[in-house]
Amino acid sequence: MLKAILMKAAVMTAHSEPLSVTCVEVPQPGEGQILIKLRACGVCHSDVHIWKADFVPPEAPSPFILGHEGVGTIIALGAGVTGWDVGDPVGVPWLHDTCGRCNECLDEAEPFCQHQRAHGLHVPGAFAEYVVADTRFAVALPAEMDPVTTAPIMCAGVTAYGAIRRAGLKAGETCAIFGCGGLGLYAVQIATRLGARVLAIDSSPTKLEIARRYGAEWIDLADAGLVERLAGYDPKFHICINFAPTTATWDAMVAAVRPRGRIVAAAMVSKPVPLNQEWLTATGVTITGNQCRHPRGNARGRRHACGKAAGV
């Protein structure tokens, strides 16, 4: 019915060139998929990385439409879809699908699946009027929500939440959050609401003031004296999480974390950092990482009637 109907989309025709708002065909939902009419989509820094060709998929989607923080309404169901209805409000996150067969998928840790496909990287994303999503990864949303403020939660919000869960944060613990952009400020709000005492660190005094309003107990400016100041904290922090896309925070996290503490890398930092194994054996610090999080808790999203692994 929708075949040959055109939609407007912001298409990337070349890396680092302005997106071209043009007409392309409305995608068709396949088995286990839904067609969504979008109401809003956030712009994630990963979109910028992809646009600049920092991440290049082995096979570019056609058309190459960025965007993985979409919010919209279902307008058509693919074959075999149950538990979803036309008119349902729905979110479009980073993950389009995963292999469904590897240890990570079987352990419900799909963001670590090495065969995952993402909206706006491997398949067309949500900088468009319509997008197709897999019901296993689409996010059921409440009817009463503001699409503009809900959209960034689809990646930035769940990534911040995922990093905090990965850190195993417990109420009463101290948590140093490095980088107070979109993700870091979500993390400040989530960590404080989970009962942590939060130190927010950023190079921008304006962002630090926002972090304080959002619940940070302490703030510190990322300047030349930061590492020395953090080394003087007593006691040091149970958890350090990096949301700043730079290697510059590494020494500061090493200085701030307490023995047996946890360091979580959440920002995409491709350059290496120094690690002294003797320091690791002496402190017992755990170092781990996290990217997006599957916005689970969405029982409807698990009802995928076809029961087949995704085609990757």
- Which residues are near Zn ion by CB under 5 A? 44, 46, 98-99, 102, 105, 113, 155
CB of 301 to Zn ion, least distance (A): 16
Q: Smaller CB distance to Zn ion: residue 150 or 174?
A: 150
CB of 238 to Zn ion, least distance (A): 27
* Ordered DSSP codes for the chain: --TT-EEEEEE-SSTTS--EEEEEEPP---TTEEEEEEEEE---HHHHHHHTTSS--SS--SS-B--S-EEEEEEEE-TTB-S--TT-EEEE-SEEE--S-SHHHHTT-GGG-TT-EEBTTTB--SSBSEEEEETTT-EE--SS--HHHHGGGGTHHHHHHHHHHHHT--TT-EEEEE--SHHHHHHHHHHHHTT-EEEEEES-HHHHHHHHHTT-SEEEE-STTHHHHHHT-SS-EEEEEE-SSSGGGHHHHHHHEEEEEEEEE-S---S-----HHHHHHH--EEEE---------GGGG-BTT-PPP--
Closest separation between CB of residue 287 and Zn ion, Å? Answer: 22
Nearer to Zn ion, 65 or 105 (CB): 105
Residue nearer to Zn ion on the CB measure, 119 or 207:
119
Give least dist CB 61 to Zn ion, A. Answer: 16
| Shortest Å, Cβ 91 to Zn ion | 13
Decide whether 44 or 180 has the Cβ nearer to Zn ion. Answer: 44
Rank residues 105 and 216 by Cβ distance to Zn ion and give the closer one: 105
With respect to Zn ion, which residue has the nearer C-beta, 159 or 174? 159
**Rounded least distance, CB 48 to Zn ion, Å:** 10
